[in-house]
Structure 1
Amino acid sequence: MYVRTIYATGDPAELDGVVEALSTEGRRLLSEQAGYRGMGLFVDRELGKLVAGTWWEDEKAEQASDDRLRERRAELLAPFARTVAVDKWEAAVARRPAALGSGAWFRLLRLEFEPSDADLLVDTFEKTGLPKLETIRGFEGASLLIDRAKGRATVGALWTDRNTLVASRAAVAGIRGEATAKARVITRSLEEFEVVFVAPVSPA
């Protein structure tokens, strides 16, 4: 599968309005697109940050939907967003939650690597990172998204609630240190977000 992500920042006071728009009209528009497989929406209400990820059955479906929705997406984001970054990724590994209750949280890690090490990163996440994450209380799922050509990746992990996310920090730091050294990647940023919703990714 392929994923399109949006990273927007703006006035925290205007965040709720765009969250409502994306949760209603945004989801409706996406559901009408061929190849749509689900969406996640995450926010930092204190700083005024929003992350959205939409999942697609293949690269062609992702591109076609982007062409059709780009203008309307900008309109929906406009009341809040002062900066917007849109990125496209291959979903290299995905362990998605069957269901996610209210109050869930999300941790986002951004990585850089030499393009020739892309397969090493995928293998390390599958065999080292993910199995160890699955042993931590409150872990609900994780995905590795990569851009092989540009040598960029993100790891997003879902947690039952903020308490389990906070409690996981030390253990996850150890896993992160081991896995990034083994995969020869550089950590560029680490952020945490409240989960607005995660719409299940339907089978392709």
Structure 2
Amino acid sequence: MYARSSTFAAQRSSIDRGIAYLHNTMMPNMPDLHGWVGMSLMVDRATGRCIATTAWESETAMHDSSMRIRSLRDGLAEALNGSVDSIEEWEVAVMHRDHLAGASACTRCTWIQVDPAGVDLAIQTFKSGLLPELEKIEGFRSASLFVDRATGRGVGSTVWSSREELDNSRPHVDRLRDAATRVMRAEVLEVAEFRLGFAHLRVPELV
């Protein structure tokens, strides 16, 4: 499983228009693309930062989609009245869903850097060390880990049932992150929180 994430700098007043574009324009086109298995949009209404992610059953399917996705991505940038800041491609190393995300779901993303030789250690630590503890926290819905094996860069994401549960989980998750990144020998590059503005995922359970 692979994923492509596109980060947008949007006008805050246009975020709802961007979400509508995903519903009305992107979604009807996506099932026609071979190997497509899901899409999501995370939004930060305070800053206008938005991250759209498409998931693919193989690296080949992801790369074959690039031309078609480019036009849809440009359309999303226009709907958001913004610009594309970055595009990244990932291997989906972990996808774990405890419960379906609801309408009020929020996400927390942690970008990390490890030595490329340590990617498998990071994946195993996420699976065996973090996930069992996350499942014990009230409001936890799902977690994923995307990695770039060539660079050692990764991003772990957790989904929570509401902003309240996201806020309540923060001290506990901070402690878990500190412990896990020590085991991984990872540098934490950034931690950011978002509202899950849109999600349609058909990806299977991987752990």
State if a TM-score over 0.5 links the two structures. Answer: yes
Q: Structure 1 residues 32 and 97, CA, compared in 2 at 3 Å: closer, same or farther?
A: farther
**2:22 is the counterpart of 1:22:** yes
- Structure 2 letter corresponding to 1:138: G
Determine the C-alpha separation between the residues in 2 that align with 1:27 and 1:15.
17
- Per mean C-alpha deviation after superposition, the further-off stretch among 102-111 and 193-202 is 193-202
Residue 136 of structure 1 aligns to a residue in which SS? coil
Matched with 1:91 is 92
**What's the offset of the Cα at 1:126?**
0.8
Q: Structure 1 residues 84 and 29, CA, compared in 2 at 3 Å: closer, same or farther?
A: farther
**What's the offset of the Cα at 1:164?**
0.6
**What's the offset of the Cα at 1:97?**
5.0
Determine the C-alpha separation between the residues in 2 that align with 1:40 and 1:119.
26
Contact kept, 8 Å, 1:91 with 1:146, in 2: the verdict is: yes
Matches within 5 A, 1:120-139: 120-139=121-140
Contact kept, 8 Å, 1:145 with 1:155, in 2: the verdict is: yes
Q: What TM-score comes out, normalization by structure 1 length?
A: 0.94
Determine the C-alpha separation between the residues in 2 that align with 1:15 and 1:129.
32
- Structure 1 letter corresponding to 2:8: A
Matched with 1:48 is 48
**What's the offset of the Cα at 1:202?**
4.5
**What's the offset of the Cα at 1:128?**
0.4
Matched with 1:183 is 184
Contact kept, 8 Å, 1:89 with 1:145, in 2: the verdict is: yes
**2:72 is the counterpart of 1:57:** no
Matched with 2:149 is 148
Contact kept, 8 Å, 2:35 with 2:57, in 1: the verdict is: yes
**What's the offset of the Cα at 1:76?**
2.7
- Structure 2 letter corresponding to 1:30: M
**What's the offset of the Cα at 1:33?**
0.6
Q: Specify every segment of 5 or more residues in structure 1 that has no aligned partner in the other structure, as ranges.
A: none
Matched with 2:112 is 111
Q: Specify every segment of 5 or more residues in structure 2 that has no aligned partner in the other structure, as ranges.
A: none
Residue 197 of structure 1 aligns to a residue in which SS? strand
Residue 65 of structure 2 aligns to a residue in which SS? helix
Superposed CA RMSD in Å reads 1.5
**What's the offset of the Cα at 1:83?**
3.9
Question: How many residues are aligned here?
Answer: 204
Identity of aligned residues (%): 32
- Structure 1 letter corresponding to 2:67: D
